[in-house]
Chain A
Protein backbone atom coordinates (compact mmCIF):
# COMPACT_ATOMS: atom_id res chain seq x y z
CA UNK A 1 0.00 0.00 0.00
CA UNK A 2 2.68 2.44 0.94
CA UNK A 3 4.62 1.55 -2.21
CA UNK A 4 1.58 2.32 -4.33
CA UNK A 5 1.19 5.55 -2.42
CA UNK A 6 4.75 6.71 -2.88
CA UNK A 7 4.64 5.90 -6.56
CA UNK A 8 1.42 7.78 -7.09
CA UNK A 9 1.69 10.58 -4.58
CA UNK A 10 2.09 13.20 -7.29
CA UNK A 11 -1.08 12.02 -8.98
CA UNK A 12 -2.99 12.21 -5.73
CA UNK A 13 -1.75 15.72 -5.06
CA UNK A 14 -2.46 16.77 -8.63
CA UNK A 15 -6.00 15.42 -8.35
CA UNK A 16 -6.60 17.65 -5.38
CA UNK A 17 -5.14 20.79 -6.93
CA UNK A 18 -6.96 20.15 -10.21
CA UNK A 19 -10.13 19.73 -8.15
CA UNK A 20 -9.54 23.15 -6.61
CA UNK A 21 -8.88 24.69 -10.00
CA UNK A 22 -12.07 23.17 -11.38
CA UNK A 23 -13.99 24.48 -8.38
CA UNK A 24 -12.70 27.99 -9.03
CA UNK A 25 -14.53 27.90 -12.35
CA UNK A 26 -17.52 25.88 -11.23
CA UNK A 27 -18.51 28.08 -8.31
CA UNK A 28 -19.17 31.17 -10.43
CA UNK A 29 -20.89 29.00 -13.04
CA UNK A 30 -23.36 27.84 -10.44
CA UNK A 31 -24.09 31.49 -9.69
CA UNK A 32 -24.80 31.96 -13.40
CA UNK A 33 -21.55 33.86 -13.85
CA UNK A 34 -19.57 32.74 -16.89
CA UNK A 35 -16.18 33.63 -15.51
CA UNK A 36 -12.90 31.90 -16.25
CA UNK A 37 -10.98 34.30 -14.07
CA UNK A 38 -10.19 31.40 -11.74
CA UNK A 39 -7.41 30.40 -14.10
CA UNK A 40 -5.98 33.89 -14.01
CA UNK A 41 -6.18 33.65 -10.23
CA UNK A 42 -4.23 30.40 -10.49
CA UNK A 43 -1.49 32.27 -12.30
CA UNK A 44 -1.46 35.16 -9.86
CA UNK A 45 -1.42 32.81 -6.88
CA UNK A 46 1.36 30.73 -8.39
CA UNK A 47 3.62 33.61 -9.33
CA UNK A 48 3.04 35.47 -6.05
CA UNK A 49 3.84 32.35 -4.07
CA UNK A 50 7.10 31.76 -5.92
CA UNK A 51 8.09 35.42 -5.83
CA UNK A 52 7.49 35.49 -2.08
CA UNK A 53 9.66 32.44 -1.54
CA UNK A 54 12.44 33.32 -3.95
CA UNK A 55 12.69 37.12 -3.74
CA UNK A 56 11.31 37.80 -0.26
CA UNK A 57 12.55 34.54 1.24
CA UNK A 58 9.30 33.81 3.01
CA UNK A 59 8.38 30.32 4.13
CA UNK A 60 5.78 28.13 2.49
CA UNK A 61 2.48 28.94 4.15
CA UNK A 62 2.78 32.73 4.32
CA UNK A 63 3.62 32.63 0.60
CA UNK A 64 0.57 30.53 -0.13
CA UNK A 65 -1.58 32.87 1.91
CA UNK A 66 -0.23 35.92 0.11
CA UNK A 67 -0.87 34.31 -3.27
CA UNK A 68 -4.40 33.36 -2.35
CA UNK A 69 -5.32 36.77 -0.98
CA UNK A 70 -3.78 38.76 -3.82
CA UNK A 71 -5.56 36.61 -6.37
CA UNK A 72 -8.85 37.04 -4.55
CA UNK A 73 -8.48 40.80 -4.48
CA UNK A 74 -7.52 41.10 -8.15
CA UNK A 75 -10.31 38.87 -9.35
CA UNK A 76 -12.80 40.72 -7.17
CA UNK A 77 -11.65 43.93 -8.85
CA UNK A 78 -12.11 42.27 -12.23
CA UNK A 79 -15.59 41.28 -11.16
CA UNK A 80 -16.43 44.90 -10.45
CA UNK A 81 -15.34 45.80 -13.96
CA UNK A 82 -17.13 43.08 -15.90
CA UNK A 83 -20.22 42.36 -13.84
CA UNK A 84 -22.57 43.83 -16.41
CA UNK A 85 -21.56 41.49 -19.20
CA UNK A 86 -23.50 38.32 -19.82
CA UNK A 87 -22.94 34.83 -21.09
CA UNK A 88 -20.10 34.14 -23.47
CA UNK A 89 -19.04 37.79 -23.48
CA UNK A 90 -18.10 37.67 -19.86
CA UNK A 91 -16.35 34.40 -20.64
CA UNK A 92 -14.31 36.12 -23.35
CA UNK A 93 -13.45 39.06 -21.15
CA UNK A 94 -12.26 36.82 -18.33
CA UNK A 95 -10.24 34.67 -20.71
CA UNK A 96 -8.63 37.83 -22.05
CA UNK A 97 -7.79 38.81 -18.47
CA UNK A 98 -6.14 35.43 -17.89
CA UNK A 99 -4.05 35.67 -21.04
CA UNK A 100 -2.97 39.22 -20.25
CA UNK A 101 -1.48 37.91 -17.02
CA UNK A 102 0.72 35.61 -19.06
CA UNK A 103 1.98 38.50 -21.17
CA UNK A 104 2.71 40.55 -18.06
CA UNK A 105 4.64 37.60 -16.66
CA UNK A 106 6.79 37.36 -19.79
CA UNK A 107 7.62 41.03 -19.69
CA UNK A 108 8.11 41.18 -15.95
CA UNK A 109 11.91 41.25 -16.04
CA UNK A 110 13.72 39.95 -13.02
CA UNK A 111 10.65 39.99 -10.78
CA UNK A 112 8.85 37.28 -12.71
CA UNK A 113 11.90 35.78 -14.34
CA UNK A 114 10.75 36.75 -17.82
CA UNK A 115 10.36 33.99 -20.35
CA UNK A 116 12.26 31.47 -18.28
CA UNK A 117 10.10 31.98 -15.23
CA UNK A 118 11.26 31.26 -11.72
CA UNK A 119 12.53 28.09 -10.13
CA UNK A 120 13.75 26.80 -6.81
CA UNK A 121 10.69 27.48 -4.69
CA UNK A 122 10.13 24.06 -3.23
CA UNK A 123 7.42 24.32 -0.63
CA UNK A 124 7.06 22.18 2.46
CA UNK A 125 3.72 20.78 1.49
CA UNK A 126 2.51 17.28 2.22
CA UNK A 127 -0.55 15.50 0.94
CA UNK A 128 -2.15 15.76 4.36
CA UNK A 129 -2.00 19.55 4.15
CA UNK A 130 -3.67 19.59 0.77
CA UNK A 131 -6.40 17.20 1.85
CA UNK A 132 -7.12 19.36 4.89
CA UNK A 133 -7.30 22.50 2.76
CA UNK A 134 -9.51 20.77 0.21
CA UNK A 135 -11.79 19.64 3.00
CA UNK A 136 -12.24 23.23 4.15
CA UNK A 137 -13.02 24.39 0.62
CA UNK A 138 -15.46 21.53 0.19
CA UNK A 139 -17.16 22.56 3.41
CA UNK A 140 -17.72 25.99 1.91
CA UNK A 141 -19.00 24.39 -1.29
CA UNK A 142 -21.35 22.15 0.66
CA UNK A 143 -22.70 25.19 2.45
CA UNK A 144 -23.43 26.83 -0.91
CA UNK A 145 -25.25 23.73 -2.07
CA UNK A 146 -27.24 23.12 1.06
CA UNK A 147 -30.96 23.79 1.27
CA UNK A 148 -31.09 27.48 2.06
CA UNK A 149 -28.12 29.02 0.35
CA UNK A 150 -28.29 26.51 -2.49
CA UNK A 151 -31.82 27.50 -3.40
CA UNK A 152 -30.96 31.17 -3.33
CA UNK A 153 -27.95 30.63 -5.59
CA UNK A 154 -29.99 28.53 -7.99
CA UNK A 155 -32.50 31.33 -8.22
CA UNK A 156 -29.82 33.92 -8.87
CA UNK A 157 -28.61 31.72 -11.71
CA UNK A 158 -31.86 30.64 -13.30
CA UNK A 159 -34.08 33.62 -12.72
CA UNK A 160 -32.34 36.80 -11.63
CA UNK A 161 -35.48 38.91 -11.95
CA UNK A 162 -37.33 36.65 -9.56
CA UNK A 163 -34.38 36.72 -7.20
CA UNK A 164 -34.40 40.50 -7.21
CA UNK A 165 -38.14 40.49 -6.65
CA UNK A 166 -37.85 38.37 -3.51
CA UNK A 167 -35.17 40.57 -2.06
CA UNK A 168 -31.91 38.86 -2.99
CA UNK A 169 -29.17 41.32 -3.87
CA UNK A 170 -28.18 39.65 -7.13
CA UNK A 171 -25.24 41.92 -7.80
CA UNK A 172 -23.73 41.22 -4.40
CA UNK A 173 -24.06 37.47 -4.87
CA UNK A 174 -22.38 37.61 -8.24
CA UNK A 175 -19.54 39.75 -6.94
CA UNK A 176 -19.13 37.30 -4.09
CA UNK A 177 -18.78 34.50 -6.62
CA UNK A 178 -15.89 36.39 -8.21
CA UNK A 179 -14.18 36.77 -4.86
CA UNK A 180 -14.63 33.10 -4.03
CA UNK A 181 -13.38 31.96 -7.41
CA UNK A 182 -10.36 34.24 -7.07
CA UNK A 183 -9.49 32.88 -3.63
CA UNK A 184 -9.89 29.23 -4.61
CA UNK A 185 -8.03 29.71 -7.88
CA UNK A 186 -5.20 31.54 -6.14
CA UNK A 187 -4.99 28.82 -3.53
CA UNK A 188 -4.82 26.14 -6.20
CA UNK A 189 -2.14 28.06 -8.06
CA UNK A 190 0.02 28.74 -5.04
CA UNK A 191 -0.07 25.14 -3.85
CA UNK A 192 0.51 23.64 -7.29
CA UNK A 193 3.44 25.91 -7.97
CA UNK A 194 5.14 25.41 -4.64
CA UNK A 195 4.78 21.67 -5.10
CA UNK A 196 6.44 21.85 -8.47
CA UNK A 197 8.97 24.48 -7.41
CA UNK A 198 8.83 26.32 -10.77
CA UNK A 199 6.49 28.44 -12.84
CA UNK A 200 6.73 29.93 -16.30
CA UNK A 201 4.44 32.19 -18.34
CA UNK A 202 3.74 29.26 -20.63
CA UNK A 203 1.68 27.56 -17.95
CA UNK A 204 -0.80 30.37 -17.42
CA UNK A 205 -2.68 29.82 -20.61
CA UNK A 206 -5.75 28.57 -22.31
CA UNK A 207 -4.90 24.95 -21.65
CA UNK A 208 -5.73 25.36 -17.97
CA UNK A 209 -9.13 26.79 -18.86
CA UNK A 210 -9.75 23.72 -20.95
CA UNK A 211 -8.65 21.37 -18.18
CA UNK A 212 -10.97 23.02 -15.68
CA UNK A 213 -13.91 23.20 -18.06
CA UNK A 214 -13.66 19.64 -19.22
CA UNK A 215 -13.35 18.39 -15.65
CA UNK A 216 -16.58 20.18 -14.79
CA UNK A 217 -18.50 19.15 -17.87
CA UNK A 218 -17.46 15.52 -17.71
CA UNK A 219 -17.80 15.20 -13.95
CA UNK A 220 -20.93 17.22 -13.52
CA UNK A 221 -21.44 20.98 -13.43
CA UNK A 222 -23.99 21.19 -10.65
CA UNK A 223 -22.00 20.14 -7.64
CA UNK A 224 -18.55 20.01 -6.14
CA UNK A 225 -18.78 16.23 -6.32
CA UNK A 226 -18.91 16.56 -10.08
CA UNK A 227 -15.78 18.71 -10.06
CA UNK A 228 -14.01 16.08 -7.95
CA UNK A 229 -15.10 13.27 -10.26
CA UNK A 230 -13.92 15.27 -13.24
CA UNK A 231 -10.55 15.93 -11.64
CA UNK A 232 -10.08 12.25 -10.80
CA UNK A 233 -11.02 11.19 -14.32
CA UNK A 234 -8.60 13.49 -16.01
CA UNK A 235 -5.65 13.12 -13.74
CA UNK A 236 -5.84 9.32 -13.64
CA UNK A 237 -6.89 8.81 -17.24
CA UNK A 238 -3.34 8.54 -18.64
CA UNK A 239 -2.47 5.90 -16.06
CA UNK A 240 -5.57 3.84 -16.69
CA UNK A 241 -5.36 3.97 -20.46
CA UNK A 242 -1.62 3.82 -20.63
CA UNK A 243 -1.85 0.96 -23.06
CA UNK A 244 -3.18 3.44 -25.58
CA UNK A 245 0.10 5.34 -25.17
CA UNK A 246 0.40 7.52 -28.26
CA UNK A 247 -3.30 7.94 -28.83
CA UNK A 248 -3.98 9.22 -25.38
CA UNK A 249 -4.87 12.72 -26.55
CA UNK A 250 -7.36 11.28 -29.02
CA UNK A 251 -9.02 9.19 -26.33
CA UNK A 252 -9.13 12.25 -24.10
CA UNK A 253 -10.78 14.28 -26.85
CA UNK A 254 -13.29 11.52 -27.52
CA UNK A 255 -14.27 11.24 -23.88
CA UNK A 256 -14.75 14.99 -23.65
CA UNK A 257 -16.81 15.07 -26.84
CA UNK A 258 -18.95 12.11 -25.81
CA UNK A 259 -19.57 13.59 -22.38
CA UNK A 260 -20.55 16.92 -23.92
CA UNK A 261 -22.97 15.25 -26.31
CA UNK A 262 -24.53 12.48 -24.28
CA UNK A 263 -24.04 13.36 -20.64
CA UNK A 264 -25.58 16.78 -20.04
CA UNK A 265 -25.07 16.55 -16.31
CA UNK A 266 -21.80 14.74 -16.49
CA UNK A 267 -20.88 11.52 -14.81
CA UNK A 268 -22.45 12.76 -11.60
CA UNK A 269 -25.72 13.22 -13.46
CA UNK A 270 -25.58 9.65 -14.69
CA UNK A 271 -24.81 8.32 -11.23
CA UNK A 272 -27.66 10.29 -9.69
CA UNK A 273 -29.97 9.03 -12.40
CA UNK A 274 -29.06 5.42 -11.73
CA UNK A 275 -29.39 5.86 -7.97
CA UNK A 276 -32.76 7.48 -8.47
CA UNK A 277 -33.94 4.67 -10.68
CA UNK A 278 -32.88 2.01 -8.24
CA UNK A 279 -34.51 3.77 -5.32
CA UNK A 280 -37.79 4.30 -7.09
CA UNK A 281 -37.84 0.89 -8.71
CA UNK A 282 -40.61 -0.47 -6.50
CA UNK A 283 -42.59 2.74 -6.67
CA UNK A 284 -42.53 2.77 -10.44
CA UNK A 285 -43.44 -0.87 -10.67
CA UNK A 286 -46.47 -0.23 -8.47
CA UNK A 287 -47.46 2.73 -10.59
CA UNK A 288 -47.18 0.64 -13.74
CA UNK A 289 -49.45 -2.06 -12.31
CA UNK A 290 -52.00 0.57 -11.19
CA UNK A 291 -52.00 2.12 -14.62
CA UNK A 292 -52.69 -1.18 -16.26
CA UNK A 293 -55.55 -1.90 -13.91
CA UNK A 294 -57.09 1.53 -14.23
Chain B
Protein backbone atom coordinates (compact mmCIF):
# COMPACT_ATOMS: atom_id res chain seq x y z
CA UNK B 1 0.00 0.00 0.00
CA UNK B 2 2.75 2.35 0.95
CA UNK B 3 4.36 1.46 -2.33
CA UNK B 4 1.27 2.64 -4.16
CA UNK B 5 1.62 6.02 -2.52
CA UNK B 6 5.27 6.18 -3.51
CA UNK B 7 4.39 5.26 -7.06
CA UNK B 8 1.68 7.92 -7.07
CA UNK B 9 4.16 10.57 -5.96
CA UNK B 10 6.81 9.49 -8.43
CA UNK B 11 4.22 9.27 -11.19
CA UNK B 12 3.00 12.77 -10.46
CA UNK B 13 6.53 14.13 -10.77
CA UNK B 14 7.02 12.36 -14.08
CA UNK B 15 3.62 13.60 -15.20
CA UNK B 16 4.25 17.23 -14.36
CA UNK B 17 7.53 17.11 -16.23
CA UNK B 18 6.25 15.14 -19.20
CA UNK B 19 3.05 17.13 -19.63
CA UNK B 20 4.92 20.15 -20.93
CA UNK B 21 6.83 18.07 -23.45
CA UNK B 22 3.77 16.09 -24.49
CA UNK B 23 1.66 19.19 -24.95
CA UNK B 24 4.11 20.81 -27.30
CA UNK B 25 5.17 17.64 -29.09
CA UNK B 26 1.65 16.33 -29.58
CA UNK B 27 0.15 19.56 -30.87
CA UNK B 28 2.63 21.83 -32.60
CA UNK B 29 5.08 19.03 -33.24
CA UNK B 30 8.12 20.41 -31.45
CA UNK B 31 10.35 17.95 -29.61
CA UNK B 32 11.88 20.32 -27.11
CA UNK B 33 15.18 19.06 -25.77
CA UNK B 34 15.59 22.20 -23.73
CA UNK B 35 12.68 21.20 -21.50
CA UNK B 36 14.99 19.64 -18.94
CA UNK B 37 17.16 22.75 -18.82
CA UNK B 38 14.05 24.92 -18.40
CA UNK B 39 12.94 22.72 -15.51
CA UNK B 40 16.29 22.92 -13.80
CA UNK B 41 16.94 26.59 -14.36
CA UNK B 42 13.55 27.65 -13.00
CA UNK B 43 14.40 25.85 -9.78
CA UNK B 44 17.86 27.38 -9.88
CA UNK B 45 16.48 30.91 -10.05
CA UNK B 46 14.29 30.01 -7.11
CA UNK B 47 17.45 28.96 -5.28
CA UNK B 48 19.19 32.24 -6.11
CA UNK B 49 16.29 34.32 -4.88
CA UNK B 50 15.95 32.40 -1.63
CA UNK B 51 19.68 32.51 -0.93
CA UNK B 52 19.22 35.92 0.61
CA UNK B 53 15.56 35.95 1.55
CA UNK B 54 13.55 33.12 2.96
CA UNK B 55 10.29 32.80 1.05
CA UNK B 56 7.07 30.85 1.56
CA UNK B 57 6.20 27.81 -0.55
CA UNK B 58 3.80 29.53 -2.90
CA UNK B 59 6.17 32.37 -3.66
CA UNK B 60 8.98 30.04 -4.67
CA UNK B 61 6.67 28.01 -6.88
CA UNK B 62 5.33 31.16 -8.49
CA UNK B 63 8.81 32.40 -9.28
CA UNK B 64 9.74 29.08 -10.86
CA UNK B 65 6.56 29.00 -12.93
CA UNK B 66 7.12 32.52 -14.27
CA UNK B 67 10.79 31.89 -15.03
CA UNK B 68 9.92 28.64 -16.80
CA UNK B 69 7.31 30.30 -18.97
CA UNK B 70 9.70 33.11 -19.82
CA UNK B 71 12.54 30.78 -20.79
CA UNK B 72 10.29 28.65 -22.98
CA UNK B 73 8.82 31.68 -24.73
CA UNK B 74 12.32 33.01 -25.31
CA UNK B 75 13.47 29.73 -26.83
CA UNK B 76 10.44 29.69 -29.10
CA UNK B 77 11.16 33.25 -30.19
CA UNK B 78 14.89 32.95 -30.75
CA UNK B 79 15.30 29.38 -31.86
CA UNK B 80 12.29 27.29 -32.80
CA UNK B 81 10.28 29.85 -34.70
CA UNK B 82 13.21 30.89 -36.91
CA UNK B 83 13.92 27.24 -37.65
CA UNK B 84 10.32 26.56 -38.63
CA UNK B 85 10.26 29.62 -40.83
CA UNK B 86 13.42 28.59 -42.60
CA UNK B 87 12.45 24.97 -43.21
CA UNK B 88 10.79 23.61 -46.27
CA UNK B 89 8.62 21.21 -44.37
CA UNK B 90 7.88 19.86 -40.95
CA UNK B 91 10.09 16.84 -41.44
CA UNK B 92 13.18 18.85 -42.25
CA UNK B 93 12.49 21.10 -39.30
CA UNK B 94 12.23 18.23 -36.80
CA UNK B 95 15.91 17.40 -36.81
CA UNK B 96 17.00 21.02 -36.62
CA UNK B 97 14.63 21.74 -33.76
CA UNK B 98 16.01 18.70 -31.97
CA UNK B 99 19.58 19.88 -32.35
CA UNK B 100 18.68 23.50 -31.70
CA UNK B 101 17.08 22.46 -28.44
CA UNK B 102 20.18 20.50 -27.45
CA UNK B 103 22.39 23.49 -28.19
CA UNK B 104 20.22 25.92 -26.30
CA UNK B 105 19.99 23.56 -23.33
CA UNK B 106 23.75 23.69 -22.82
CA UNK B 107 23.60 27.36 -21.83
CA UNK B 108 21.49 27.25 -18.64
CA UNK B 109 23.26 24.05 -17.65
CA UNK B 110 26.70 25.67 -17.88
CA UNK B 111 25.48 28.75 -16.00
CA UNK B 112 24.09 26.71 -13.14
CA UNK B 113 27.17 24.49 -12.97
CA UNK B 114 29.41 27.51 -12.84
CA UNK B 115 27.57 29.19 -9.99
CA UNK B 116 26.99 26.12 -7.86
CA UNK B 117 30.30 24.45 -8.76
CA UNK B 118 28.07 21.45 -9.49
CA UNK B 119 27.04 21.08 -5.86
CA UNK B 120 23.38 20.33 -5.20
CA UNK B 121 21.15 23.35 -4.53
CA UNK B 122 17.81 23.75 -2.79
CA UNK B 123 15.49 26.43 -1.44
CA UNK B 124 15.52 28.29 1.84
CA UNK B 125 11.87 28.44 2.60
CA UNK B 126 9.67 29.09 5.58
CA UNK B 127 7.83 25.98 4.47
CA UNK B 128 8.90 22.76 6.05
CA UNK B 129 7.34 19.46 5.08
CA UNK B 130 5.48 17.52 7.72
CA UNK B 131 4.60 13.90 7.76
CA UNK B 132 0.96 12.91 7.67
CA UNK B 133 0.20 9.51 9.07
CA UNK B 134 -3.02 7.69 8.33
CA UNK B 135 -4.01 4.05 8.25
CA UNK B 136 -0.44 3.08 9.03
CA UNK B 137 0.79 4.90 5.92
CA UNK B 138 3.11 7.85 5.78
CA UNK B 139 2.93 10.76 3.40
CA UNK B 140 4.75 14.06 3.48
CA UNK B 141 2.81 17.25 2.84
CA UNK B 142 5.01 17.94 -0.16
CA UNK B 143 4.22 14.56 -1.65
CA UNK B 144 0.53 15.25 -1.10
CA UNK B 145 0.80 18.56 -2.93
CA UNK B 146 2.69 16.88 -5.76
CA UNK B 147 0.08 14.17 -6.17
CA UNK B 148 -2.81 16.58 -6.12
CA UNK B 149 -1.09 18.99 -8.51
CA UNK B 150 -0.13 16.20 -10.88
CA UNK B 151 -3.59 14.70 -11.06
CA UNK B 152 -5.41 18.01 -11.21
CA UNK B 153 -3.26 19.55 -13.90
CA UNK B 154 -2.97 16.32 -15.85
CA UNK B 155 -6.69 15.73 -15.97
CA UNK B 156 -7.45 19.39 -16.37
CA UNK B 157 -5.14 19.75 -19.34
CA UNK B 158 -6.56 16.62 -20.96
CA UNK B 159 -10.08 17.95 -20.68
CA UNK B 160 -9.06 21.40 -21.88
CA UNK B 161 -7.32 20.11 -25.00
CA UNK B 162 -10.31 17.98 -25.81
CA UNK B 163 -13.13 20.38 -25.07
CA UNK B 164 -12.01 23.96 -25.41
CA UNK B 165 -11.76 26.04 -28.58
CA UNK B 166 -8.09 26.69 -28.16
CA UNK B 167 -7.55 23.00 -27.52
CA UNK B 168 -9.35 22.27 -30.74
CA UNK B 169 -7.23 24.82 -32.55
CA UNK B 170 -4.08 23.22 -31.13
CA UNK B 171 -5.12 19.78 -32.26
CA UNK B 172 -5.94 21.19 -35.66
CA UNK B 173 -2.42 22.56 -35.99
CA UNK B 174 -1.10 19.17 -35.00
CA UNK B 175 -3.05 17.40 -37.72
CA UNK B 176 -2.56 19.85 -40.56
CA UNK B 177 -0.97 23.21 -39.94
CA UNK B 178 -1.72 24.72 -43.35
CA UNK B 179 -5.40 23.99 -43.26
CA UNK B 180 -5.66 25.17 -39.70
CA UNK B 181 -4.08 28.47 -40.65
CA UNK B 182 -6.48 28.73 -43.53
CA UNK B 183 -9.36 28.32 -41.12
CA UNK B 184 -8.23 31.30 -39.13
CA UNK B 185 -6.13 29.71 -36.43
CA UNK B 186 -3.40 32.10 -35.39
CA UNK B 187 -0.46 29.71 -35.37
CA UNK B 188 2.09 32.14 -34.02
CA UNK B 189 0.11 33.20 -30.98
CA UNK B 190 -0.98 29.67 -30.19
CA UNK B 191 2.54 28.34 -30.57
CA UNK B 192 3.89 30.93 -28.15
CA UNK B 193 1.09 30.28 -25.74
CA UNK B 194 1.67 26.54 -25.84
CA UNK B 195 5.41 26.82 -25.35
CA UNK B 196 4.93 29.27 -22.51
CA UNK B 197 2.46 26.91 -20.84
CA UNK B 198 4.84 24.01 -21.26
CA UNK B 199 7.60 26.13 -19.74
CA UNK B 200 5.38 27.09 -16.85
CA UNK B 201 4.69 23.41 -16.23
CA UNK B 202 8.41 22.70 -16.32
CA UNK B 203 8.98 25.43 -13.76
CA UNK B 204 6.23 24.06 -11.55
CA UNK B 205 7.72 20.59 -11.77
CA UNK B 206 11.13 22.01 -10.98
CA UNK B 207 10.00 23.80 -7.86
CA UNK B 208 7.93 20.90 -6.58
CA UNK B 209 10.63 18.31 -7.22
CA UNK B 210 13.23 20.45 -5.46
CA UNK B 211 10.95 20.73 -2.45
CA UNK B 212 10.28 17.01 -2.59
CA UNK B 213 13.90 15.91 -2.91
CA UNK B 214 15.40 18.67 -0.78
CA UNK B 215 17.94 19.58 -3.43
CA UNK B 216 18.70 18.92 -7.07
CA UNK B 217 21.88 19.12 -9.12
CA UNK B 218 22.29 20.98 -12.43
CA UNK B 219 22.34 17.64 -14.22
CA UNK B 220 18.96 16.51 -12.82
CA UNK B 221 16.84 18.03 -15.58
CA UNK B 222 18.42 16.11 -18.41
CA UNK B 223 18.04 12.81 -16.57
CA UNK B 224 14.28 13.30 -16.58
CA UNK B 225 14.14 13.81 -20.36
CA UNK B 226 14.44 10.11 -21.10
CA UNK B 227 11.73 9.32 -18.56
CA UNK B 228 9.49 11.83 -20.30
CA UNK B 229 10.09 10.06 -23.62
CA UNK B 230 9.14 6.78 -22.06
CA UNK B 231 5.96 8.28 -20.65
CA UNK B 232 4.94 9.83 -23.93
CA UNK B 233 5.75 6.79 -26.03
CA UNK B 234 3.90 4.57 -23.57
CA UNK B 235 0.85 6.78 -23.46
CA UNK B 236 0.87 7.56 -27.13
CA UNK B 237 1.89 10.74 -28.87
CA UNK B 238 -0.93 13.20 -29.32
CA UNK B 239 -2.92 12.00 -26.36
CA UNK B 240 -2.90 13.94 -23.09
CA UNK B 241 -4.84 11.20 -21.37
CA UNK B 242 -2.18 8.79 -22.54
CA UNK B 243 0.53 10.89 -20.94
CA UNK B 244 -1.33 10.90 -17.64
CA UNK B 245 -1.78 7.15 -17.64
CA UNK B 246 1.69 6.54 -19.00
CA UNK B 247 3.34 8.48 -16.20
CA UNK B 248 1.69 6.40 -13.49
CA UNK B 249 2.29 3.13 -15.28
CA UNK B 250 5.99 3.90 -15.63
CA UNK B 251 6.24 4.98 -12.01
CA UNK B 252 4.42 1.83 -10.96
CA UNK B 253 6.76 -0.38 -12.96
CA UNK B 254 9.84 1.30 -11.53
CA UNK B 255 8.53 1.12 -7.97
CA UNK B 256 7.86 -2.58 -8.44
CA UNK B 257 11.40 -3.18 -9.69
CA UNK B 258 12.77 -1.31 -6.68
CA UNK B 259 10.56 -3.26 -4.34
CA UNK B 260 12.00 -6.47 -5.72
CA UNK B 261 15.41 -4.99 -5.03
CA UNK B 262 16.70 -4.85 -8.59
CA UNK B 263 17.83 -1.29 -8.03
CA UNK B 264 20.33 -1.25 -10.88
CA UNK B 265 17.73 -2.24 -13.45
CA UNK B 266 15.35 0.65 -12.86
CA UNK B 267 16.51 2.68 -15.83
CA UNK B 268 16.21 -0.41 -17.97
CA UNK B 269 12.50 -0.26 -17.25
CA UNK B 270 12.08 3.04 -19.08
CA UNK B 271 14.37 2.08 -21.93
CA UNK B 272 12.87 -1.36 -22.25
CA UNK B 273 9.35 0.00 -22.21
CA UNK B 274 10.13 2.49 -24.97
CA UNK B 275 11.61 -0.24 -27.07
CA UNK B 276 8.89 -2.84 -26.50
CA UNK B 277 5.98 -0.47 -26.97
CA UNK B 278 7.42 0.85 -30.21
CA UNK B 279 7.79 -2.68 -31.48
CA UNK B 280 4.52 -4.11 -30.28
CA UNK B 281 2.10 -1.20 -30.21
CA UNK B 282 3.80 1.87 -31.62
CA UNK B 283 0.88 4.19 -31.13
CA UNK B 284 1.09 3.61 -27.39
CA UNK B 285 -1.93 3.08 -25.22
CA UNK B 286 -4.03 5.93 -26.52
CA UNK B 287 -2.16 7.50 -29.38
CA UNK B 288 -3.66 8.35 -32.71
CA UNK B 289 -0.69 9.58 -34.71
CA UNK B 290 0.61 7.67 -37.68
CA UNK B 291 3.70 5.83 -36.54
CA UNK B 292 4.29 2.96 -38.90
CA UNK B 293 5.50 3.27 -42.42
CA UNK B 294 2.96 2.20 -45.04
CB <8 Å contact, A210 and B102: yes
Contact B86 A264 (CB under 8 A): yes
Nearest chain B residue, comparing its CB with the CB of A114: B264
User: With A250-B106, A256-B106 known to touch, is A93 a contact of B265 (CB < 8 Å)?
Assistant: no
Residue pair B267, A253 in contact (C-beta under 8 Å): no
Within 8 A of B (CB), among A228-261: 246-247, 249-250, 252-261
Interface string of B76-88 (1 = CB under 8 A from A): 0001001100110
A82/B110 in contact, CB under 8 A:
no
Residues of B within 8 A of A89 (CB): 233, 278, 282, 291
CA distance A213 to B31 in the complex (A): 15
- Distance from A43 Cβ to chain B, minimum over Cβ atoms (Å): 13
Indicate if the CB atoms of A103 and B100 lie closer than 8 Å: no
Chain B 213-233, CB-CB to A under 8 Å as 1, else 0, gives: 000000000100010010001
Q: How many residues of B contact A (CB 8 A)?
A: 44
Tally chain A residues at the interface, Cβ within 8 Å: 41
Q: Which residues of B contact A99 (CB under 8 A)?
A: 226, 267, 271
Chain B residues with CB under 8 A of A213? 98-99, 102
> Does any Cβ of B come within 8 Å of A119's Cβ?
no
Given A85-B292, A89-B278: A103 touches B96 (CB 8 Å cut-off)? no
Do residues A87 and B278 form an inter-chain contact, with CB atoms below 8 A? Answer: no
CA distance A103 to B293 in the complex (A): 30
B91 to chain A: which residues have CB within 8 Å? 87
Chain B minimum-CB-distance residue to A260: B100
Encode contact with A along B238-282: 1 for CB under 8 Å, 0 otherwise: 000000000000000000000000001101100110110011001
Flag whether A8 is at the interface (Cβ < 8 A).
Answer: no
Q: Are B103 and A214 in contact, CB atoms less than 8 angstroms apart?
A: yes
A250's closest neighbor in chain B, by CB? B110
Chain B residues lying within 8 Å of A87, measured Cβ to Cβ, are 91, 94
Taking a contact as CB atoms under 8 Å apart, the answer to whether B275 and A93 are in contact is yes
The DSSP consensus for interface residues of chain A is helix
Smallest beta-carbon distance B69→chain A, Å: 20
Residues of A within 8 A of B102 (CB): 210, 213-214, 253, 256
Q: Which residues of B contact A206 (CB under 8 A)?
A: 222, 226
CA of A252 to CA of B97, assembled, Å? 16
> B82, A261: Cβ atoms under 8 Å?
yes
Partner of B100, one of A92, A93, A247, A261: A261
Chain B residues packing against A (C-beta within 8 Å): 31, 79, 82-83, 86-87, 91-92, 94-100, 102-107, 109-111, 113-114, 222, 226, 229, 233, 264-265, 267-268, 271-272, 274-275, 278-279, 282, 291-293
